Amino acid sequence: MNQKFIRDFEPDETVVTFALIRGIWTRAKRGTGEEFLALELQDRTGTVEAKIWEVEDAMRELRSGDYVKIKARVDEYRGMPQLIIEKIRKVTDADRQQGFEESDCVPSTPYNIDEMWERLRMLVNREVNDPFVVQLLNNVLERTGDRFKCFPAAQEIHHGYRGGFLEHVLSVTENCVYFAGRYPEVDKSLLVAGGILHDIGKLEELTPAPAVEYTLQGRLVGHIILGRDLVRAEAAKIANFPQQTLLLIEHMILSHQGDYDWGSPKRPKILEALILHYLDDLDAKANHFQSVLRAHRGPGVFTNYDRILGRVLYKRPSASGERREPRDDEAIVDVSPPGEL
């Protein structure tokens, strides 16, 4: 019997481990109509689907957000590991005294949060020339720092883990610095401000990890308008903040998703906003791409169909040679829905 993390589960083994319930649903067995429970569990290494076929009364009390200890057999379903739970109970104080830590169940950025924060703070002072924008950015970062460092960037699509917001913002902003140097027309202060502030409304749109959910404001207003309001309120506290600069920063936030269909009330009308939109989209897609490849643990070299990217991905052999070329029979396996290549 092993005590290990989700990423290391092997088919047919029995595991005893701790996890966080991300979702739990009552379902009916086909044929008999008897009820069973379907769960989505997570720890810091990933998520896994699980089933409870024999439902006991105490199990009906389990909810999303509960930390649990489980004993389960690792099965496989459609090429992915699935747990068949034999025993499950909520974590107790005794478990905590014996070393259980909630942080082991919360997926986190692989990077050092304090170091990323330091890089972002230094970037403001080094790359932004406009003193009003420097003050605005420093004020926003100071006021939101606690949430800025720990929030996810999204519920699940990209950077959906602790520290994911900071990781995404830093990555986009560092790319903004690079692209500001590529095009002489670009106002670097404006582009960097856009990088740092474009998603700031997410700090009010989402709740922090582990249970990342939309807030009421998030559902009813959304991060784009929440972000514009937050920045406008902060600028109002700075004496003589230039209205034209504020208007352009607001436009960067309002247009960063690029098009009406993607939730932007305005499309980019200045070069800085266009560049920000593409860098934001690139970083979100690249992060999602990497997480799909990382989550793939089936036998083939192609991932399952990913509905967000609308395709399967090829997990090519790495430079270290640890992965291999597809066998002939793998090359013809096509798990795409009809009409999809």
Angle CA(115)–CA(233)–CA(209) in degrees, nearest 5? 40
Name the minimum Å distance from CB 199 to Fe ion: 4
Name the minimum Å distance from CB 241 to Fe ion: 24
By beta-carbon proximity to Fe ion, the closer residue of 199 and 234 is 199
Structure tokens at 222: 């959304």
280 forms part of the interface with Fe ion (CB under 5 A): yes
If you write DSSP's letter for every residue of 220-283 in order, what string do you get? Answer: HT-HHHHHHHHHHHHHHTSTT--HHHHHHHHHHHHHTT-SGGGT-SS---SHHHHHHHHHHHHH
Which region among 80-88, 154-162, 193-201, 297-305 touches Fe ion (by CB under 5 A)?
Answer: 193-201
By beta-carbon proximity to Fe ion, the closer residue of 43 and 199 is 199
Q: Footprint of Fe ion on residues 194-223 (CB under 5 A)?
A: 199
Print the binding letters for residues 118-137 with Fe ion: x by CB under 5 A, - otherwise.
--------------------
In the chain, which ranges are E strands? 14-28, 35-43, 46-52, 67-77, 80-90
Write phi, then psi, for 156 (nearest 5 degrees): -150, -20
By beta-carbon proximity to Fe ion, the closer residue of 88 and 284 is 284
Name the minimum Å distance from CB 47 to Fe ion: 22
Angle CA(57)–CA(30)–CA(9) in degrees, nearest 5? 70
Name the minimum Å distance from CB 12 to Fe ion: 41
Name the minimum Å distance from CB 21 to Fe ion: 28
Among 278, 157, 149, CA closest to 203:
149
187 forms part of the interface with Fe ion (CB under 5 A): no
Q: Report strand pairing: 80-90 vs 46-52.
A: parallel
If you write DSSP's letter for every residue of 214-227 in order, what string do you get? Answer: B-HHHHHT-HHHHH
By beta-carbon proximity to Fe ion, the closer residue of 199 and 204 is 199
By beta-carbon proximity to Fe ion, the closer residue of 48 and 154 is 154
By beta-carbon proximity to Fe ion, the closer residue of 23 and 222 is 222
Name the minimum Å distance from CB 178 to Fe ion: 17
Structure tokens at 155: 């519920």
CA 44 to chain centre: 13
Name the minimum Å distance from CB 170 to Fe ion: 11
Which region among 36-44, 229-237, 272-280, 332-340 touches Fe ion (by CB under 5 A)?
Answer: 272-280
Structure tokens at 24: 């739990």
Structure tokens at 44: 């810091």
By beta-carbon proximity to Fe ion, the closer residue of 104 and 281 is 281
Name the minimum Å distance from CB 176 to Fe ion: 12
- Kindly state the number of chain residues that form the binding site for Fe ion, as judged by CB under 5 A: 2
By beta-carbon proximity to Fe ion, the closer residue of 43 and 174 is 174
Cα–Cα distance for residue pair 144/165, rounded to 1 Å: 12
Which residues of the shown chain bind Fe ion in the complex (CB under 5 A)? 199, 280
